Amino acid sequence: MSITMHSASVPVFVRLLGNLTAWLDKAEAHAAAKKFDASVLLGMRLAPDMLPLKTQIQIACDTAKFTIARLAGVEAPKFDDREATLDELKARVSKTIAFVESIPATQVDGSEERDIALPRRDGVLILKGETYLRTFALPNFFFHVTTTYALLRHNGVELGKGDYLGPLQPAS
Amino acid sequence: MSITMHSASVPVFVRLLGNLTAWLDKAEAHAAAKKFDASVLLGMRLAPDMLPLKTQIQIACDTAKFTIARLAGVEAPKFDDREATLDELKARVSKTIAFVESIPATQVDGSEERDIALPRRDGVLILKGETYLRTFALPNFFFHVTTTYALLRHNGVELGKGDYLGPLQPAS
């Protein structure tokens, strides 16, 4: 099997979003053990001018969602940014996983040279599909996923590299 | 052009390591403006049981280096973990970029099904090349790069998403 635009994107998003869900479970358990309201975590920031945990997770989801929608040339589902609890954030993650898994691999494959329209503050930027995946979509996705992890670790949730990576699949 | 094992790895590492070098330049300027010794930053951590900035950068480099060496089936150069300044860390980043760029794309391409030996605490894990890239190498690389960024932001260095992503290349 050769690497493809689908194999380089959907499984990466699904895997890390699944791992992230498990971090949120640990965050809930941590809050229960320490007897604080878990939703306090949604507002935590690493710096005053960085986005809070809630927004980090929303953008991680949206990056996965829009990446696959744009590469496949389909409309992305709309998610309102109204989450107020870890459970609601987990539901958004689940909806994101379900959407990216719903797109047939054949629709994403072959998108290397497709023109992708990326809305930016100062207009729309057109990138080739593979350039978009490599220089925007994957780095942006990992940025928000890793910042979520860093925020949880910084706030005392017991996580390790194994939680970040998830279980590795040995060659059979 | 189709996506390949080389196009999905080397340009990602080179790009983000280049961006990281620019963050270290800004960290140095920040330390100079605030009149503190920039090497203090090397020991900063987001949590007491997380690795410090210096080690985050060393592992980001080593992940890039070992990924390409393993996929290509060549020996990776050895870097001693003796960096004590931002300049020395930047030199390690440069050596890493030079090494991964020195490997011909044809040696990395076609490595999807190659058996990759990944040393772990409890022995050696054998992963198929593409599984290794997707589930270990890229996530681990982005983990350490993004944690470096988070540490600098948390410690007052003025960086934004544009610094993280670097300039995007519009389709011609």
- Does the pLDDT of residue A172 top 90, yes or no? no
Instruction: Give the pLDDT score at A122.
Output: 86
Tell me the ipTM for this assembly.
Answer: 0.97
**Helices B138-154/B10-34 angle, 10° precision:** 10
Average pLDDT over residues B60-87: 98
Instruction: Give the pLDDT score at B172.
Output: 78
Model confidence at A1, in pLDDT bands (50, 70, 90)?
confident
- Does the pLDDT of residue A8 top 90, yes or no? yes
Q: Show the CA angle centred on residue A144, arms to residues A89 and B172, nearest 5°.
A: 125
Model confidence at B67, in pLDDT bands (50, 70, 90)?
very high
Residue B104: Cβ within 10 Å count? 9
- Alpha helix stretches (DSSP H) within chain A: 10-34, 53-72, 86-102, 105-108, 129-132, 138-154, 161-165
The amino acid present at B23, given as its one-letter code, is W
Instruction: Give the pLDDT score at A170.
Output: 93
Give residue-wise pLDDT tens across range A124-159: 999 999 999 999 999 999 999 999 999 999 999 999
CA distance A112 to A117: 14
In this complex, the residue of A50, A112, A142 whose CB is nearest that of residue B153 is A50
Instruction: Give the pLDDT score at B1.
Output: 86
Give residue-wise pLDDT tens across range B26-58: 999 999 999 999 999 999 999 999 999 999 999
CA distance A3 to A107: 15
* Closest residue, chain A, to B146 (C-alpha): A143
CA distance B88 to B82: 9
Average pLDDT over residues B107-117: 98
Instruction: Give the pLDDT score at B59.
Output: 98
What predicted TM-score, i.e. pTM, was given to this entire model?
0.98
CB contact under 8 A, A112 and B146: no
Q: How far is B82 from chain A (nearest CA, A)?
A: 23
Instruction: Give the pLDDT score at A154.
Output: 98
Instruction: Give the pLDDT score at B109.
Output: 98
Note whether A154 and B111 are within 8 A (CB).
no
Gyration radius of chain B's alpha carbons? 17
Give residue-wise pLDDT tens across range A59-84: 999 999 999 999 999 999 999 999 99
Average pLDDT over residues B72-90: 97
Enumerate residues 6+ apart whose C-beta is below 8 A from B133. Answer: A3, B5, B8, B9, B67, B71
CB contact under 8 A, B3 and A1: no
Instruction: Give the pLDDT score at B121.
Output: 87
Instruction: Give the pLDDT score at A159.
Output: 98
Instruction: Give the pLDDT score at A45.
Output: 98
Note whether B142 and B164 are within 8 A (CB).
no
Instruction: Give the pLDDT score at B133.
Output: 98
Note whether A134 and B16 are within 8 A (CB).
no
Average pLDDT over residues B90-97: 98
H or E element, residue A116 = strand A115-120
- How much is the mean pLDDT over chain B? 97
Give residue-wise pLDDT tens across range A25-62: 999 999 999 999 999 999 999 999 999 999 999 999 99
Tokens of residue A64, six digits: 């996965």
**CA B75 → CA B58, B69, B70, B100, distances in Å?**
18, 6, 8, 12
Tokens of residue A159, six digits: 């996580």
- Substitution target in A30, A142, A148, A154 with the highest count of B β-carbons within 10 Å is A142
* Closest residue, chain B, to A128 (C-alpha): B171
> How many CB pairs lie under 8 A apart between chains A and B?
136
CA distance B97 to B131: 23
Give residue-wise pLDDT tens across range B117-141: 999 988 999 999 999 999 999 999 9
- Substitution target in A1, A2, A3 with the highest count of B β-carbons within 10 Å is A3
